[in-house]
Structure 1
């Protein structure tokens, strides 16, 4: 309080109502008139601090680390690089040091997932004895280092790998390792994503979390200096299932040096190296077939291929019901007269099965099979993307309990161990590259095609021996009605055909006019969570447009409020989610498609907050049959009954009544009441209102001639306009808060996740949200006044701060006339007939107000209206041009806007 009065002062011209307040502002000296708006600017930060009442996630803070730290698995159950007498692993799991700022170092257990964007340096030490170093070759193996990894041994750069979900395999040069002493390994990891030039791209909503770090197992593989580098395995099964064959290409390499400690060089020189392949029944250990030994030609530091084939009579056939497996063992040995000396062995697990496409259906081993699948995301509470072996096996056993016979690993290749579990437990696998929601413009770029080809080639090389993998995916959520997408699909399909015979798929979100699925064996589409009501019509369209092809629904599901058990009449309850799957699977059966995948097996965490989530952690997408922490929901039990062919039970309907957002009505009515009250009971406001609206030139001329308008009335009008705009913004966002395309467009604009969190909180809490939006719009007035003041210097005019502020406020007077529209906006936008007219009306009033500001500037500057309009439009265009240039270069604005608009048209 100042001199017994409050700081906010109103003149007595508000007849009677404010008569207790001090003298009218019209009597204040001109210097005081210029000080009052400055006071407003000073308190503006306090007004903006009101935004802090909205909960959100800070963009700054400590790095969250989800540690696993388990030792690398060894023995027969290891997913890759099985140990034997000739090769072993030096486990690098455990404690590492890391730094983010290159100054302070901290310890962390590896594998681990860093919830962090940027560059992290990891370091640890290991020792090698002289005998091992002189007789062996060393390879750094990382099953997942995200994304870009540079590797140094004793500060010597030894290699780089790009791709966080495929295997890092770097041969370590001999001169980089130290005899007997400690060796330091340093890995510099960078997971920054681009909107154009990385794979994956910077993610949109409903993607996955871009964890950084050494996310999966890491170890040194110690092999002989002449070793089998890899096996290319193709298992085949005759049509009558009576005979199997395994075609193997063994790729060998050599680092034989002839040094004193290299005893193998002398031995190889005295005999003939040979390669033989055995096929072993995994359950019994019996050898069921062997190839003839093939001679090997030694070529130091170069790959050398040796081919062999093995025939297996009456093999045990792999299927989800009987997942019988075989081990392919390649033996490299030295033949010296009658003496045989082993050099190296490499084993891979495979199986015999036929997965064929016959018409519009799949056949497994000659029998029709319909895919009953789930979508699995490599993420879990408290571990992030670094799941333990036990957690992966628990998930697979739950899938089998559920009755699923297939799993789709979205949106990238998973840990090899979970694929080995699919081999062992019997699950058909759809595996894909991390190309999700990629605009056609970017799919058409040569650099992106090369990245995608490299990724799919690495995946195929790693996993083609697995019987569980039945299809390769080249991406998801493409706009498949675009010619540029078709070019990408055809090229990737051609690349895959050269490497493997498995069918290819990608996910499309369009309902009609698809141009791409016909170019590959499987026609696959996906359904957004907000488009679940269109499931039946979408399936009918895809079946009709892709006759002769198996149609697969790659993803369908429904979001849920985890604690909501109000019965299925409540659309966000667990029962509603369960009822959705019950009805959807019935529709899927009636459509006769080849398979479907429920999205998702469990909740997962993404990079972008999802606007559909009203409260809680909005980056945890709550759509799973299980929660993020793997607690079962009602939908799990329902799907278990459906997938196992059991009778479903009736779910409680509950009592649910939809709520209506009254905040927009309350705030809108408040604006109408204030303006109407002042208009009818305050003569000065009445006159100013009519003159500003109907005779604006005279109004601005009076301001120019220093005939001031009431400051309290100006501030009240500014607040009323800001609240009206706040009601409109809140109403629009509230109406489209669960619309995936609207959320995608919001994500493009609000690139800061923290800012988007605040926005979502404002949308779901309309009372506070409208207040927050109003403060933001109110803050625009000082900015406009600042521009008016600055440009006054260019035209050599003296304009006070208050007059600049008053021009900005009174020019936007027409906006308050939209208050009734703002009150009814939620209902208006629910009717498609009124959507375009409503937006057009709002747009007209905004443009009208902008032109009125320019008109006011022309009057107080005393320049022609044409010059004011031209200058004002030029300034706005420069600002918009700068924003566009920033968004375009950094976030590929036009590509994504075009992509989502195309999707919107296709979906409609």
Structure 2
């Protein structure tokens, strides 16, 4: 009986690997790899080496400056004997210069990718060796695409992931890649393996070596192919093996069956180097039907259930430990997810290994978000993304968990807008990977460019609570996307400790309510899946307005916070993904209530003040109507020094200031959940502390009206100073009091903004794109006021209009153009504003 069982097992094994030589050969292990983990204490300098401090490495630095790292490594004579050394770098930002014992090894692009640095044999010595690494931050467009995307994670620099010192024999496996093709019915797989052997400089491994390739799983290890080669110093030798795997066990999130490819370098019967990678066999197919487009995984219908994952945790920043990665993956599996979508960074190799083992597909986004096409198509960005794609495809593409690569997120969808970039990156993808390719687009992209893509991820560009309206847009996108499946991105932000119930749109309960209801409504669209934004909270590069949080630099869209405490939304998503009973949620109330009454009271009060001035003060009434109906005569009075009350002018300045301030405050308040407005303000306002305070005051309209009124008064004083400068240039005598009078009365059209702000809520309630009308009103009022200001100065200066206008335009260009030019050079402000207008508005 035992012999029969043994015979059945042998037949089973031989059937699985029928095309491979199953002869087991015993080999002696000699000079195999040795790994020295360099994690620990390093000396770090933030000032080009003037001062040094001891810090733990890897770690996350948020300093946008060059960092120097030093570490002493002690090696014995036995460590160095016939060995070649390499540094395995798992993630630095952005590029590094490497030195050993003051010998320059080279400059390497990092970009958070994994790469090796080969050390010359002569660079190391017996005893203490100093390793120095100079890490430079991103620059130019690379810095902009890292720091300026909407809700981008905080830009980190330095040695963020661990570095290992690896010693090998003089010949080592320097690369392994695999590809396969499944037969019909997945009954077998044609497997092709390619790799490279590299030799060092010392000549310790010279002559004939044998390279053996094996396929290994739980049942055993079996030889695929053997190559012999005659090697010499400092060369690279390629090898290739092929085989057929019968009845392969397929990889899926439910059954993550893994195989390993093992490559051994043998000399004189002894294994001198060995390398191993994990692979798996899976079959992904896109299907189209009347019920919607979707995926088949290993022949079975499959819906993406994903969470967006961002490398960040309280206390560690982006330098997550292996233990923390595994905790996160276990929790995500408990959630019922079958995929993660890696955003704002490159996946750690260990994270990919965990996804292989636990069964989670990976949707990886190339780090290109909210990028203007002028930057996207630049050579600098295309070369950078090509380098990242090349590194990614050579390090993780073999992993069965890799599902797709996202070429870009939230860019313009015009037919030729992204053509240059898309064609270049797609060419790399099509050549080196069989995995899918996708992109992420905003709602409102009626005619997305779908050529070359396998599916789309759809994101709502404005935080909206009208699910049915978004469902209509979603179905319109489906009609314009041909046979491409659509995955929907869902998420909303919260106040971290808000437990007021889902009546409060910033509460923890509302986040759960939002996800449950949006999923319920969108089910009728038969989407190919969902990705939840995000699994965890993370630090931001730019402050956020939309969640009214005390900490403006934490994006609180996570199902768990930065400390990994679960929120109500975690249970809600778990019920969605696992088809469990929905959690009960408390309705509660919104204690802040609706503060629109502030604008109504402000409009009524200051409207009455204006009417009182008109009715009670005859001179004011005359001045007002003359300035509107007969502006030339009014400005001539100022020129001729006819008395105009300074008190009445000051009251008018107050009314103008409050009208403008109330209009701005009302607009911001009604759009306080609008991430496009938040993004626009982050782009055009360069000073962080101003944005932080502005985003706080947006939620307190009365305070914002007060502060903005003071700012508008200062603005009027600056206009008066501007007129004094123009008068000086034109050799005209103009007192500051008269300049202030001129500036104030020129701004009379802004009084129209007061009643608009009082009843702005009606505009937003009645019009879907009410903000466009609001913007149009503001533009008309500002142009009218500017024309009045130009005309008044020409009359008062008593100079030809052309000369006055030209002088004032030159002064404006100097005072406005220079800061604008600086911001354009620093952050491409014009490109980003045009992007916001064309893509997000």
Q: In the aligned structure 2, how far is the partner of 1:319 from the partner of 1:509?
A: 30
Q: Residue deviations 1:704-740, cap 9 Å, x none?
A: 4444433333333323322221111112222222222
Is it true that 1:86 corresponds to 2:32 in the alignment?
A: yes
Secondary structure of the 1:447 match is helix
- In the TM superposition, what is the alpha-carbon distance from 1:106 to its structure 2 partner? 1.8
- In the TM superposition, what is the alpha-carbon distance from 1:591 to its structure 2 partner? 2.0
| Structure 2 match to 1:711 | 646
Alpha carbons of structure 1 residues 543 and 691: separation in structure 2 relative to 1, 3 Å: closer
| Structure 2 match to 1:499 | 432
Alpha carbons of structure 1 residues 789 and 84: separation in structure 2 relative to 1, 3 Å: farther
Alignment partner of 2:44 out of 86, 98, 107 = 98
Q: In the aligned structure 2, how far is the partner of 1:84 from the partner of 1:776?
A: 76
- In the TM superposition, what is the alpha-carbon distance from 1:688 to its structure 2 partner? 4.5
- In the TM superposition, what is the alpha-carbon distance from 1:492 to its structure 2 partner? 1.8
| Structure 1 match to 2:353 | 420
| Structure 1 match to 2:581 | 647
Q: Residue deviations 1:89-120, cap 9 Å, x none?
A: 22221112222223232221111111222222
Is it true that 1:382 corresponds to 2:315 in the alignment?
A: yes
- In the TM superposition, what is the alpha-carbon distance from 1:85 to its structure 2 partner? 6.0
Alpha carbons of structure 1 residues 742 and 463: separation in structure 2 relative to 1, 3 Å: same
Q: Residue deviations 1:367-420, cap 9 Å, x none?
A: 222111111111122221111222111111111111111111113321111111
Alignment partner of 1:735 out of 662, 670, 686 = 670
Secondary structure of the 1:381 match is coil
| Structure 2 match to 1:352 | 281
Q: Residue deviations 1:180-213, cap 9 Å, x none?
A: 243222222233453x355844322222221112
Is it true that 1:582 corresponds to 2:495 in the alignment?
A: no
2:659–2:750 CA contact under 8 A, matched in 1? yes
Is it true that 1:899 corresponds to 2:832 in the alignment?
A: no
Alpha carbons of structure 1 residues 834 and 805: separation in structure 2 relative to 1, 3 Å: same
Alpha carbons of structure 1 residues 843 and 443: separation in structure 2 relative to 1, 3 Å: closer
| Structure 1 match to 2:696 | 761
- In the TM superposition, what is the alpha-carbon distance from 1:672 to its structure 2 partner? 2.8
Alpha carbons of structure 1 residues 872 and 211: separation in structure 2 relative to 1, 3 Å: same
| Structure 2 match to 1:69 | none
Is it true that 1:475 corresponds to 2:421 in the alignment?
A: no
2:176–2:193 CA contact under 8 A, matched in 1? yes
Say how many residue pairs are matched: 804
Which ranges of structure 1 fall in alignment gaps of 5 or more residues?
Answer: 1-82, 259-263
Q: In the aligned structure 1, how far is the partner of 2:150 from the partner of 2:772?
A: 26
| Structure 1 match to 2:389 | 456
Q: In the aligned structure 2, how far is the partner of 1:848 from the partner of 1:545?
A: 42
| Structure 1 match to 2:106 | 159
Secondary structure of the 1:646 match is coil
Secondary structure of the 1:296 match is strand
Q: In the aligned structure 1, how far is the partner of 2:105 from the partner of 2:471?
A: 54
Secondary structure of the 1:652 match is coil
Is it true that 1:333 corresponds to 2:262 in the alignment?
A: no
Aligned pairs for 1:742-781 (under 5 A) are 742-781=677-716
Alignment partner of 1:560 out of 487, 494, 512 = 494
| Structure 2 match to 1:126 | 73
- In the TM superposition, what is the alpha-carbon distance from 1:310 to its structure 2 partner? 4.3
- In the TM superposition, what is the alpha-carbon distance from 1:843 to its structure 2 partner? 3.0
Alpha carbons of structure 1 residues 527 and 705: separation in structure 2 relative to 1, 3 Å: closer
CA RMSD of aligned residues (A): 2.7
- In the TM superposition, what is the alpha-carbon distance from 1:423 to its structure 2 partner? 0.8
Aligned pairs for 1:383-782 (under 5 A) are 383-528=316-461, 530-531=463-464, 533=467, 534-553=469-488, 555-656=489-590, 658-683=593-618, 685-782=620-717
Alpha carbons of structure 1 residues 372 and 535: separation in structure 2 relative to 1, 3 Å: farther
Secondary structure of the 1:713 match is helix
Q: Residue deviations 1:202-233, cap 9 Å, x none?
A: 32222222111211111212111211112112
2:504–2:510 CA contact under 8 A, matched in 1? yes
Alignment partner of 1:280 out of 210, 216, 221 = 216
Q: Residue deviations 1:420-476, cap 9 Å, x none?
A: 111111111112311111222323333322222221111111102211112222122
2:82–2:202 CA contact under 8 A, matched in 1? no
Is it true that 1:117 corresponds to 2:64 in the alignment?
A: yes
Q: TM-score, normalised by structure 2?
A: 0.90
| Structure 1 match to 2:5 | none
Is it true that 1:847 corresponds to 2:780 in the alignment?
A: no
| Structure 1 match to 2:197 | 252
2:30–2:272 CA contact under 8 A, matched in 1? no
| Structure 1 match to 2:176 | 231
Q: Residue deviations 1:151-199, cap 9 Å, x none?
A: 2223333222334321132112234x241243222222233453x3558
Moved more, 794-803 or 381-390: 794-803
Alignment partner of 1:171 out of 106, 118, 130 = 118
Q: In the aligned structure 2, how far is the partner of 1:606 from the partner of 1:746?
A: 15
Q: In the aligned structure 2, how far is the partner of 1:300 from the partner of 1:484?
A: 49
Secondary structure of the 1:114 match is coil
| Structure 1 match to 2:306 | 373
Q: In the aligned structure 1, how far is the partner of 2:185 from the partner of 2:232?
A: 42
Q: In the aligned structure 1, how far is the partner of 2:415 from the partner of 2:736?
A: 53
Secondary structure of the 2:693 match is helix
- In the TM superposition, what is the alpha-carbon distance from 1:309 to its structure 2 partner? 2.7
Alpha carbons of structure 1 residues 120 and 664: separation in structure 2 relative to 1, 3 Å: farther
Which structure has the higher relative contact order (CA within 8 Å, separation 6+)?
Answer: 1
Alpha carbons of structure 1 residues 579 and 788: separation in structure 2 relative to 1, 3 Å: closer
Q: In the aligned structure 1, how far is the partner of 2:113 from the partner of 2:704?
A: 44
Q: In the aligned structure 2, how far is the partner of 1:813 from the partner of 1:223?
A: 80
- In the TM superposition, what is the alpha-carbon distance from 1:866 to its structure 2 partner? 3.9
Q: In the aligned structure 2, how far is the partner of 1:346 from the partner of 1:318?
A: 22
| Structure 1 match to 2:83 | 136
Alpha carbons of structure 1 residues 240 and 308: separation in structure 2 relative to 1, 3 Å: same
